[in-house]
Structure 1
Amino acid sequence: MGRAVGYARISGPAQDLQRQVAALRSAGCERIYQEQASGAAGKDQPELDRCLADLVAGDALVLAELSRLGRTTGKVVTRLDSLLDAGVTVRALDYGLTLTPARDNPLGELVATILAALAKIERDTLVRRLADGREYAKRVLGRYSGRKPVDPAKVAIAVDLIRAGRPLRQAAMAAGIGRTTLYDALDRLGLDPAQLREQRGNL
């Protein structure tokens, strides 16, 4: 029987890598590759490259989050296909999804593709809405709601942390923004912290 090999990635220093690592250890991973990398197109992910090169037929790649396999839907799907064709099972803990080399779960593969697409759309939409709101305030009001402009990437990090179960105050502190500023940003986006926590593992 092959090994269970884990891979964990965070996009920035404010995100919680150890939460992913703990989940992978609980899933029985014998070895865990971990790194901080954006996952964006063209960005190096040396630990992921090492992880994929280490896998052999019969092994299982375990991901705390399916989206860690790639920032774009195409990248996730391409890597999934390559792994399954190479005889490697892929498990995504956040969705309780297991895909095997037997390709006996076509619905699961479709779900994985859809989930990867939704994750990318959600990230892109969040950043775009924050950036659009900031640009509108600058152009129409000549200022940004009387406050220093908020970095959309920081708000996106805070949203990820809230979804992971962090209290809003801790999420704001970890992302490097004020609690009130985060409240205001979430309000402008129509996002409720309680609902974000309920979305964990469902989107």
Structure 2
Amino acid sequence: MSDMIGYARVSRREQNPEAQIAELKAAGARRVFVDHGESSRISDRPEWKNCLDFLEPGDTLIVRRLDRIAGSERMAIEAINDLHERGVNIKSLTEPDIDTTTPMGKALFGMVAVFAQLRVDTIRDNTRRGLQHARANGRIGGRPRAMTPEQVDEAATMRATNKSLRYIAAVLGVSKTTVARALDDNTQRS
């Protein structure tokens, strides 16, 4: 048997979620999970996790607005997609187009998901092409190395005379981890 489950969230502890809870219950929510003082940009909210664990295939998650469950378009699409894959519908009380219990809502979400995937694929393709172009022009993408080849040689010389990584890092003005990584990379190339 399917259930209607509500989720409410307020960003600050001093805010009162009672209005959201009342709206969700009036819309038919049998149970309402509420997060207090939790940002929508964090997906690891305690009651959100409990709500997700509670929902079963065929259930409908009711929210006042989509921003209660997600702080960005990407997070919203991921959340809705996850719920859809689990067989859970979603319904927004203030955004009537977001109601996957209706054929039009399902179709609209399908179109939004397609465009979101197109955006991700386009960004990935543009990044790949940009890196290929940079390589063709002799540039390498990624973060610049913290140590120059000369510093790596100097570090290897110091290490050969039994200087500690901490000592080498202090002399070269980098972290101990950077020295260890550079020496390891240098050994692997040799």
Per the shorter chain, which TM-score range? 0.5 to 0.7
| 1:105-144 correspondence to structure 2 within 5 Å | 105-108=106-109, 110=111
Judged with a 3 Å threshold, the aligned counterparts in structure 2 of structure 1 residues 55 and 101 are, in CA distance, closer, same or farther, namely farther
Cα separation, 1, equivalents of 2:104 and 2:84: 7
Structure 2 length as normaliser, TM-score? 0.53
Give the aligned residue type for 2:80.
L
For residues 114 and 25 of structure 2, the distance between their equivalents in structure 1, rounded to whole angstroms, comes to: 25
Which amino acid letter does the alignment assign opposite residue 27 of structure 1? A
Give the aligned partner of residue 182 of structure 1.
none
Relative to structure 1, the CA distance from residue 82 to residue 108 in structure 2 (aligned partners, 3 Å threshold; closer, same or farther) is closer
In the alignment, structure 1 segments of 5+ residues that lack a partner are 115-203
Judge conservation of contact 1:10–1:17 (CA < 8 Å) in 2. Answer: yes
Give the Cα separation in 2 of the matches to 1:61 and 1:51.
9
Q: 2:62 is matched with which residue?
A: 62
Between the aligned partners of 2:16 and 2:7, the Cα distance in structure 1 is 14
Matches within 5 A, 1:1-203: 1-36=1-36, 37-41=38-42, 44-96=44-96, 97-100=98-101, 105-108=106-109, 110=111
Identity level (%): 29
The structure with the largest alpha-carbon Rg is 2
- CA 1:35/1:27 → structure 2, altered by over 3 Å: closer, same or farther? same
**Paired residues, what number?**
113
Query: 1:73 deviation in Å?
Result: 1.3
> SS where residue 99 of structure 2 aligns?
strand
Identify unmatched segments of 5+ residues in structure 2. Answer: 116-190
Contact 1:85 1:101 in 2 (8 A): no
Moved over 6 A (4+): 101-104, 111-114
Q: State the Cα distance separating 1:75 from its structure 2 match.
A: 1.0
